[in-house]
Structure 1
Amino acid sequence: MSISSTTSKSAMSNKNKTMLLVIGVLLVAANLRAPVTGIAPMIDLISQSFQLSATQAGMLTTLPLIAFALFAPPSSYLAKKLGLEYAIFVALIFIASGLLFRSLGSVSTLFIGTALIGIGVSIGNVLLPIVVKRDFPMKVAMLTSSYVLAMGIASGAASAFSIPLANDYQLGWQGALAALCVLTVIAMIFWTPQLRHNSKPTAISHTGVKSTNLWDKALAWQVSLYLGLGSYFTYTIIAWLPSILAQTGFSSEEAGIVHGVFQIGTALPGIFIIPLMAKLHDQRLPAFSICFIAGVCSIGLLYLPQFSYIWSFLLGLCSGAWFILGLSFISLRTSSPLQATTLSGMAQFIGYSLAAIGPMLAGYLHGLQNGWHEVILMIVIFCVCSGIIGLLAGRNTVIR
């Protein structure tokens, strides 16, 4: 009887630990996009407050992306030194510190805080998938879809409620940005129990696997550029969608809500894109179709703004599907774990480098004529280029 009772208590304890870990993972994931994208609906308010140019305002979205590119490799080193759980907690500290710094009310703290957020999010982006793969090896796809959904919901809520918090509740843009810190603190509270189970990543032996230089492989470039142009598209839209909507007649509050619709749209493709891919011989059709739809909807934003809720939702779906498909190409187009790791590093570097250029270049083009036609034309051109690249990256083959 006592043995049965002990076994039952042990099973219940393990179940509770697992549930606590899942909640912690989802809350950490919720902090990996909202602090970066939540600033977009308030860019006009911030620009007016500090008399920022469009290019300088674009840097508020660009800085985190530069941090993503620079701090992704050191994140793995940090996990090896501190352990995964401690390193993720450090990431949350960076994000919380950045959110507070960003809302102090000076230009210097605004940019310093934004950079700190970028460092924290970069660490979380690299390490959270490792936790999922380590602790839920049989449920990686399900949990990954769940935390992508958590990211989308949190970022959508941040975009939708930022202007009401700033204006209706008279918190100003500083208070609205600082309010996101509540979510980070909650994540820290729920992640604290995991610190007791801190462990360092297991080294992977690549003995007998020949290293491949992928920088001279056409298929590696096709995959990297497809993922990179998707990041360029996504972060350009994230940075400037509220401003585009404001110029077509939307109030800043409604523009923030539409921006939230885009963010929620990015979270949903995980539900259907992976099952769809399993039924296809190759991925050329979805790779091209995603880019085509994204280009059409971008034009719709400018010329048929009365349907902006629909355009934004479809753009979000395209963005999420583009990202998932690009990541899938890393596994589908490689023939070994080492090759996949190398391609992932190459694609991340190219992707975030391109993404960092997008918001700033869009801000520069907008400043030339104080309009958005040039920016939309640029987005459409990149969608066309990416669609063509997708036809190549989507072939059923691997890097030789």
Structure 2
Amino acid sequence: MAKLDENGLTKAARTLLLVGVLFVAINLRPALSSIGPLIDMIRQDVGLSDTLLGLLTTLPLIAFGVVSTITPLFTKRFGIGNTLLGALITLATGIIIRSLGGVFELYLGTILLGIAIAFGNVLIPALIKRNFPHKAGFVTSLYSGVMSLGAAFAAGLSVPLAVEFNLGWRGSLVSWSVLAILAIIIWIPNIKRINRTPPSRSFKEAMKKLSGTLLVWKLALYMGLQSLAFYVILAWLPAILIDRGYDEAYAGWMLSLSQGTGILGAIIIPVWAGSRKDQRLVIVSLIVIEILAFIGLMFPELGMVELWIGLIGMVLGGTFGLALLLIVLRAKDSETAAELSGIVQSIGYFIAATGPFIVGMIYDLTHVWNYALILLVGVSVLKLIMGIDVGKDKKI
């Protein structure tokens, strides 16, 4: 007879559940990262201003912030498995609506897919805590790595799908619904593998307890600051390089380099951190590298642009995976993990949404990109202060 784990699953069942988790993960970024390369095509076709086009990126982040906190309401009612199924269906629906309608549908679909992704962002760490507690670092590395890989593939394939395959921007965007539908098919059999347990407390009680815990706020700030730095680099790195005299092609390659090394960091760092009871050494090491890389990027005369950008990408990717792992490690059980993930990611994405706007405003006022890099060094220092406490081996 096959040996069962604490959730009553065989090794084969756990493997199939892990495959399901990874298919959910690979769907959490393509709908977002595929839009940027197609902005010019959308502008020419629909005639929207840059401000309104910017909402196609900002609206999902706002949805993340709003929806993340209330996600435990759904899991307490429907369970993690059914809630994730609903999220995948909403994601596929949102992608299709965004791609096939007019301006109203473009924004409606964007909001729907933002809501769907928010559920996935929150619930996967809780599921890892519940079903893979002894391999949290390894599974988180797979999850964050696959998610980053999905983002990179979507960003790279969006224009070829639109141009070389003659799909246009609508066809390119709607193609990612196929991936979501495939995830739905793979996820449905996994729902029965996630046994529902009665909630031990109400949503209101959980939020009252967590919001009154200082460590929760520090973890939320850590998550928010790392996301802020990531979205600033994603939005403004090419502009920084072009302003220094590099051509657009080189700037684009450097952004791709940061995303590529980010995948590496997202895979390696959670495994390293998960092998330790105390994650402070990991946090300090990443921050030191990050600060050195930002300072190096401030001085063009130093050269080595590829090195600095590669390091920044690796650290930001690794820090993202580490932030997700810290949610898993600090929560005492899977119910707490879902609640903690919700409040931490809600606050975190609201903080992240301010980053690109603040940096753009700084440049408009000063016309000096180094002030933005100094801001990112300051963000790194704040992240270090928060990380020293959240890296300690203790439970919420």
TM-score (norm 1): 0.77
The answer to whether the aligner puts 1:202 opposite 2:216 as a matched pair is: no
Q: Judging changes above 3 Å, is the alpha-carbon distance between structure 1 residues 159 and 281 closer, same or farther for their aligned structure 2 residues? A: same
Correspondence for 1:179 among 175, 181, 185: 175
Residue 94 of structure 2 corresponds to 98
Measure the CA separation in 2 of the matches of 1:276 and 1:352.
25
Residue 3 of structure 1 corresponds to none
The answer to whether the aligner puts 1:321 opposite 2:308 as a matched pair is: no
Q: How far 1:372 moved relative to its partner?
A: 4.9
Deviations 1:172-218 (A, max 9, x none): 333332222222222223223335x27663135379x9998565665
Q: How far 1:131 moved relative to its partner?
A: 3.7
Report 1:212-361 matches (<5 A). Answer: 213=209, 215=211, 219-242=215-238, 244=240, 249-251=246-248, 258-274=254-270, 276-277=272-273, 283-298=279-294, 304=300, 309-330=306-327, 344-361=341-358
Report 1:80-99 matches (<5 A). Answer: 80-99=76-95
Q: Which moved more, 1:228-237 or 1:185-194?
A: 185-194
Q: How far 1:49 moved relative to its partner?
A: 5.2
- Unaligned regions of 5+ residues in structure 2, if any? 3-8
Q: How far 1:249 moved relative to its partner?
A: 4.0
For the residue of structure 2 that corresponds to 1:139, the secondary structure is helix
Q: What residue identity is the alignment partner of 1:349?
A: S
Measure the CA separation in 1 of the matches of 2:170 and 2:300.
33
Q: Judging changes above 3 Å, is the alpha-carbon distance between structure 1 residues 309 and 183 closer, same or farther for their aligned structure 2 residues? A: farther
Measure the CA separation in 1 of the matches of 2:331 and 2:14.
32
Alignment check: 8 A CA contact 2:363 2:372 kept:
yes
Alignment check: 8 A CA contact 2:126 2:338 kept:
no
Aligned length, in residue pairs:
387
For the residue of structure 2 that corresponds to 1:201, the secondary structure is coil
Measure the CA separation in 1 of the matches of 2:14 and 2:363.
49
Deviations 1:343-396 (A, max 9, x none): 5444323212101222343444556678855544433332333334434554x4
Q: Which moved more, 1:279-288 or 1:314-323?
A: 279-288
Residue 139 of structure 1 corresponds to 135
Residue 387 of structure 1 corresponds to 384
Alignment check: 8 A CA contact 1:298 1:380 kept:
yes
Residue 28 of structure 1 corresponds to 24
The answer to whether the aligner puts 1:42 opposite 2:6 as a matched pair is: no
Q: Which moved more, 1:183-192 or 1:356-365?
A: 356-365
Q: What residue identity is the alignment partner of 1:203?
A: P
Q: Judging changes above 3 Å, is the alpha-carbon distance between structure 1 residues 78 and 223 closer, same or farther for their aligned structure 2 residues? A: closer
Q: How far 1:74 moved relative to its partner?
A: 3.4
Measure the CA separation in 1 of the matches of 2:369 and 2:75.
43
Q: Percent identity?
A: 37
Q: Judging changes above 3 Å, is the alpha-carbon distance between structure 1 residues 55 and 190 closer, same or farther for their aligned structure 2 residues? A: same
Q: How far 1:162 moved relative to its partner?
A: 2.1
For the residue of structure 1 that corresponds to 2:59, the secondary structure is helix
Q: Judging changes above 3 Å, is the alpha-carbon distance between structure 1 residues 81 and 210 closer, same or farther for their aligned structure 2 residues? A: closer
TM-score (norm 2): 0.78
- Unaligned regions of 5+ residues in structure 1, if any? 1-6
Q: What residue identity is the alignment partner of 1:126?
A: V
